Amino acid sequence: MASSSSSSLPAAWAAAVRAGAVAPALRAAVWACLAMSAMLVAEAAWMGLASLAAAAARRLRGYGYRWEPMAAPPDVEAPAPAPADFPMVLVQIPMYNEKEVYKLSIGAACALTWPPDRIIIQVLDDSTDPFVKELVELECKEWASKKINIKYEPESDFLLKTMPYLLHNPKIALVQTRWEFVNYNVCLMTRIQKMSLDYHFKVEQESGSFMHAFFGFNGTAGVWRVSAINQSGGWKDRTTVEDMDLAVRASLKGWEFLYVGDIRVKSELPSTFQAYRHQQHRWTCGAANLFRKMAWEIITNKEVSMWKKHHLLYSFFFVRRAIAPILTFLFYCIVIPLSAMVPEVTIPVWGLVYIPTAITIMNAIRNPGSVHLMPFWILFENVMAMHRMRAALSGLLETARANDWVVTEKVGDQVKDELDVPLLEPLKPTECAERIYIPELLLALYLLICASYDFVLGNHKYYIYIYLQAVAFTVMGFGFVGTRTPCS
């Protein structure tokens, strides 16, 4: 009898600690996550309705700005056109050890239809590899002498389609067009990226342009008015999102932005998991760090309306750049699994099921061709939320990694022929070691423990979702996602 009492004492103490300390803290975390979830679903619903209204309005009256077609530029032998008809255009091509795509980028810029005497093409080569620098220099010389044959040519009338908006609407500072992806069908990871970025352009950019004449510049596939750049203080390297930085500062000067989704520009998605992680860290951390640096400047600004300041502070920065990455990981990968082991805590069904289902449906509506991939998208985005939350906190707190800049790896022509999907063949031991990601595997272990406890002893029945999420963390932890580039 005494031994029975002594053996039940630790269990009683554990139950008391769980009920007295763990449960209240977890309950507070649950309600904080539910509050953030409500903000996120409201923002998603608002953007979705605004983007649908923008699409309907566009069918009726175009984009709401004056646009008149430009005549084809005269031949080189003809007299130079007047500056008002064809203003001077500067095309900038940043390069950094990108031997796979330098020909494509330079060729695309040189293929643009515009009078030769009214366009300047700058190749901003920061390469540290002497071989790559020599290749880029040779390519530029060959294009200057017109001895090269274009291997990859985008829409050459890009400037003829976008420049009229700047010519006829003096308040517009930026015309942003939409990306389309040349390698979206390489693997499941690139298909999932395409879903997220299509939603970004169709909903976030479309609604921002329609409702507020503001959105974040995507860093490419856009045309800026040089006077707006100069008035806003030019480019600044204080964060890893100098494109977004310029856009916010220009908006605070009263300039308007226009998103034109009918014009598309080819782009390449990162197809390796490591490259995608680096890209997402740069984007997420930079945006959060910019929020930290510019919040007070936005609050005290006198040149824009309270409506636009509210959009910038609350919608654009706080909900989408801070709340979204933190909530996704904290709620779906930490709080829900932990609550499966604490019977004193119950999550309301509207927060556990209705809100995430609503967000998923709103995304699926704008990606009807990818509905069958939605389960994979959910699991993948939850794993990536771990990196995005860490990046967001790094930017908000301005830690040592806040300004880490790793150029996204590109493969150019290789995407068609030479990329290998890692699940299709075994990897060498050294390759396996390089592709193991410890944080993902630790989270997978945590989720497996929570799911197993719920399956054996719990009463929440969360284990189906938690097991699936554990599998996703395990697969990505062992690097079985994306592609790997061929060995050199």
**454 is annotated as an active-site residue:** no
What residues contact 317, with CB distance under 8 A and at least 6 apart? 287, 290, 291, 295
The residues pairing with 122 across neighbouring beta strands, listed in sequence order, are 92
CB 350 within 8 A of CB 442: no
Q: Is the dihedral of CA 382, 387, 388, 392 positive or negative?
A: positive
Token duo for residue 195: 């879903």
What is each CA distance from 137 to 94, 134, 146, in whole angstroms?
13, 5, 14
Which of the residues 126, 129, 262, 413 is marked catalytic?
Answer: 126
Buried residues in 65-80 as b, exposed as e (16+ CB within 10 A): bebeebeebeeeeeee
Alpha-carbon distance 391 to 318, whole Å?
Answer: 15
Q: Would residue 243 show up in a list of annotated catalytic residues for this protein?
A: yes
Catalytic residue among 125, 243, 245, 454: 243
Distance CA 173, CA 225 (A): 5
Residue 87 sits at φ, ψ, to 5 deg, of -65, 160
CB neighbour class for 180 (10 Å; exposed up to 12, middle 13-18, buried from 19): middle
The span from the first CA to the last CA of the chain, in angstroms, equals 72
Task: Tell me how far apart the alpha carbons of residues 404 and 114 are, in angstroms, rounded to a whole number.
Answer: 37
C-alpha span between 124 and 92 (Å, rounded): 7
Q: Which residues are designated catalytic?
A: 126, 243
